[in-house]
Structure 1
Amino acid sequence: MAGPIPAWMRWPVLITGGVCLLIGLNLALSLLGVWAPVPSGGDAAIHGQVMTFGFAGTLICLERVIALREKWALIAPAALGLGGILLLVEPTAGRALQALGMAVLVAVYARLARRGLTVALSIQILGALVGLGAVLLWWSGAATWAVIPWIAGFFVFTIVGERVELAHISLPPGAERLAWGLSLALAFAIVAVLAAGRGGEFVGVLLLAQAAWLARYDIARTTVRTSGLPQYSAANMIAAMVWLAVAGIAWVLGGGLAASPVYDTVVHSITIGFTISMIMAHAPIILPAVLRRPLPYRPVFWVPAVLLNAGLLIRLIGDVRGLGLTWQIGGALLVVTILAFVLTAAVSSAAGPPKRRAPKRGDSAEPTDQSTVNPRPAGGLSIGRPDGGKGR
């Protein structure tokens, strides 16, 4: 049945994603070889699945459920989140649940396509299909390095599709077709690498091309010159584009990811530099729509955003230069930064909108606080009514 998804149904799903985030960060500390709150073996495959599909996948699916407005679609984010938690005790069952979640996400996109298939939605469907492929590969026992191109495709197609959807009206002729062509080429390259066992350089080139498309056509390049939330969101998105380009260049230089010295650079430039930066950019826009609670922008949001990029840079320098301690410091800083962002968002939501100063004589009557202006022009994901916001 179509209709708004009640908050009591959204919260438990989001909580499973939050638990996956905590599990994933704890595993990250174990993999770094530093102190972790809960000692574990630090399984890299489990860490990757928990973070990519248990955490980020849950957020992506929940956003799509809100757009679809049909309760059955909650199976997708719920299965991804619960599957991520279950991976710790029963990996096979956890992967099966995550495969179910991704299959339902494909069905969600198919349902949305019945209301009107666009280039943007077609790119996002590619992302869901590639994401399903990633989960199935992991379920079949494939090595993590072999799954990385599929994970990259899942995030890149989903985010690029959303950005195309947002910028649709302002895009020049041919820009959407170019985005679709690049996405198709990347999808074919991902499949070809799996089939042939080589050719990763082509994936890198196409990731670089996707970053170039975003840099050329995304509205973040103009809204970064504003202030407040629009500027904050745009700056995070530009940082994400840079990290996507870094991943593409590293992939080209390193070729295949198996035993490659650029493996860590590629993986974390995509999953943290690109994906987490995009999540930070959109959190003040997505979470209020998902939870029906305000998340006012505050300048303190810049602190974790800056630290995220600094931590990732330190980690990658340590990895490339073979500096183990530097690598650990950068990785630990990333964990602390992500937790700090979550805490900052929670405190900001609990505190409510910042208090306005009393207007002085001669001040304009129009509000100028960017934290309360509709942030959509800054580049929010397209959450809302599936009819594009027509009517209430």
Structure 2
Amino acid sequence: MNLRTLARFPLLALAMLSLLAGVLGGLARLAVDVPAPASAQAGVHGALMIAAFFGTVISLERAVALGRFWPYLAPALAGLGGLTLLGGLPTIAAQWLFVGGGLTLLAGSVVVLQRQIVLFTVVLALGAASWLIGNLVWLATGLVQAAIPWWLGFLVLTIAGERLELTRFLPARPAAAPLFVASVVILLAGALASHWTEGAGLRVFACGLLALSAWLLRYDIARHNARQRGLTRFIAICLLAGYVWLAIGALLGIVGNFVPDAAMRDAALHAIVLGFVFSMVFGHAPIIFPAVAKVRIPYHPVFYLPLIVLHASLALRVLGNGSDDFVWRQQGALANAFALLLFIVTMVTSVVRGRRQHPGSRTGPRGDTR
């Protein structure tokens, strides 16, 4: 195992620490009894989940793909930003670390653009730029809410760009690219406008999300792969379920639930971050984690268990939010956390099983079944 591979494990540990603290902080926001140190993180729940956890994981994946040492600065800075928040250090220190991580990720995206300028690489660069802008907005305003559209844009554009890349395996469809570009333009225009007219801008942003969800449901290769078997089918089902949740979150946003203090803001945001983004994580982990950590994750039908728990618990949470039933909302959030824990346990168990099946082998599965 070379030095770069070894360096990935501390970065993954920092990401998991931010995830744990972010989840517990989110539960504290719903009056769940959690340890006092975790409860203290309730105010930076969003920053821990998106800027720290996803910032570290996504930039680490990109660093591995670039194959150079300097891009690893991005996940290192993001991971340290999360650690800074958890350590109770001045928030501005964490904000600057996240800004540094965003700059490095964007620099890596520019390197990719120099190699290949096509639509999906441009979209991935826009996703990196969105993370940077969100971090800068948080630094300038001190308001996490002001950064949320950009942070969501970071996650959604990163996923959409990666999915767009895979459409090259499908027959050419002339309308696909223009519709995709229009969706991205609407999303970014809404995020920008939200700084001057918050309500209207966030509604436009939500329209962009809805357009992207419709595009993904219509044009993504997952529709074809859902008819396959094994891991390919599992990934496709994760993706399609995520696209539905993205549409639900977008519809809630269109009617005004992205603004602070909106009645169903919790449902709107978590439909996207839990329903869409974590569904993508569940689906792609058996491919991405072996590439990053050099381990095998053999597929097993038990992979569906955390996926079912995630979506069922999110539905309970959303219904509780919509019916103003706090107990349903709280229990749904607890079950969300259990689904993430169950997913981690499932992946670790699969890694152990992979080592038993292939002693001494540390390579992941070949090919892309996404």
Normalised-by-shorter TM-score class: over 0.9
Task: Point out where structure 2 has 5 or more consecutive residues left out of the alignment.
Answer: 359-363
The answer on whether the counterparts of 2:51 and 2:151 sit within 8 Å (CA) in structure 1 is no
Letter matched to residue 87 of structure 1: L
Which residue is 1:298 aligned to? 300
Letter matched to residue 376 of structure 1: D
1:55-86 deviation per Cα after TM superposition (whole angstroms, max 9, x unaligned): 11211111111111111000001111111121
Q: 1:354 to 1:309 in 2, by over 3 A?
A: farther
Secondary structure, in 3 states, of the residue corresponding to 1:87?
A: helix
Q: 1:285 to 1:38 in 2, by over 3 A?
A: farther
Q: How does 1:208-219 map to 2 (within 5 A)?
A: 208-219=210-221
Q: How does 1:18-97 map to 2 (within 5 A)?
A: 18-88=16-86, 89-90=88-89, 91-97=91-97
The reply on whether 1:196 has 2:197 as its aligned counterpart is yes
Letter matched to residue 24 of structure 1: G
**1:235 alignment partner, one of 237, 241, 244:** 237
Letter matched to residue 25 of structure 2: L
Which residue is 2:143 aligned to? 143
1:107-141 deviation per Cα after TM superposition (whole angstroms, max 9, x unaligned): 00001111111100101111111111111222223
CA drift of 1:256 comes to 5.4
1:216-243 deviation per Cα after TM superposition (whole angstroms, max 9, x unaligned): 1101111111121011101110111011
Task: Point out where structure 1 has 5 or more consecutive residues left out of the alignment.
Answer: 357-371, 380-392
Q: 1:216 to 1:117 in 2, by over 3 A?
A: same
Secondary structure, in 3 states, of the residue corresponding to 2:199?
A: coil
Q: 1:69 to 1:113 in 2, by over 3 A?
A: same
**CA distance in structure 2 between the aligned counterparts of 1:41 and 1:247, rounded to whole angstroms:** 26
| Aligned Cα root-mean-square deviation (Å) | 1.9
Larger-gyration structure (1/2): 1
CA drift of 1:355 comes to 6.1
Letter matched to residue 15 of structure 2: G
CA drift of 1:198 comes to 3.1
The reply on whether 1:272 has 2:258 as its aligned counterpart is no
Aligned-residue sequence identity (percent) comes to: 33
**2:227 alignment partner, one of 201, 225, 228:** 225
CA drift of 1:258 comes to 2.2
**CA distance in structure 2 between the aligned counterparts of 1:259 and 1:28, rounded to whole angstroms:** 16
Which residue is 2:114 aligned to? 114
**CA distance in structure 2 between the aligned counterparts of 1:310 and 1:256, rounded to whole angstroms:** 22
**1:322 alignment partner, one of 302, 321, 324:** 324
The reply on whether 1:376 has 2:368 as its aligned counterpart is yes
CA drift of 1:42 comes to 4.6
The answer on whether the counterparts of 1:130 and 1:151 sit within 8 Å (CA) in structure 2 is yes
**CA distance in structure 2 between the aligned counterparts of 1:138 and 1:373, rounded to whole angstroms:** 39
Which residue is 2:284 aligned to? 282
How many correspondences in the alignment? 360
1:246-296 deviation per Cα after TM superposition (whole angstroms, max 9, x unaligned): 011001112651221121112111111111110111000000000111111
The answer on whether the counterparts of 1:243 and 1:269 sit within 8 Å (CA) in structure 2 is yes
CA drift of 1:39 comes to 4.6
The answer on whether the counterparts of 2:257 and 2:265 sit within 8 Å (CA) in structure 1 is no
Letter matched to residue 138 of structure 2: W
**CA distance in structure 2 between the aligned counterparts of 1:169 and 1:324, rounded to whole angstroms:** 46
**CA distance in structure 1 between the aligned counterparts of 2:142 and 2:225, rounded to whole angstroms:** 42
The answer on whether the counterparts of 2:199 and 2:256 sit within 8 Å (CA) in structure 1 is no
CA drift of 1:36 comes to 1.7
Which residue is 2:130 aligned to? 130
CA drift of 1:149 comes to 1.4
1:150-200 deviation per Cα after TM superposition (whole angstroms, max 9, x unaligned): 122111111100001122242423422321232122112210121233312
The answer on whether the counterparts of 2:204 and 2:254 sit within 8 Å (CA) in structure 1 is yes
The answer on whether the counterparts of 2:295 and 2:351 sit within 8 Å (CA) in structure 1 is yes
CA drift of 1:375 comes to 5.7
Which residue is 1:347 aligned to? 349
Bigger relative contact order (CA 8 A; separation at least 6): 1
Which residue is 2:209 aligned to? 207
CA drift of 1:347 comes to 1.2
The reply on whether 1:181 has 2:168 as its aligned counterpart is no
CA drift of 1:332 comes to 0.4
Query: Which deviates further from its counterpart, 35-44 or 344-353?
Result: 35-44
Query: Which has the larger share of helix?
Result: 2
Secondary structure, in 3 states, of the residue corresponding to 1:194?
A: coil
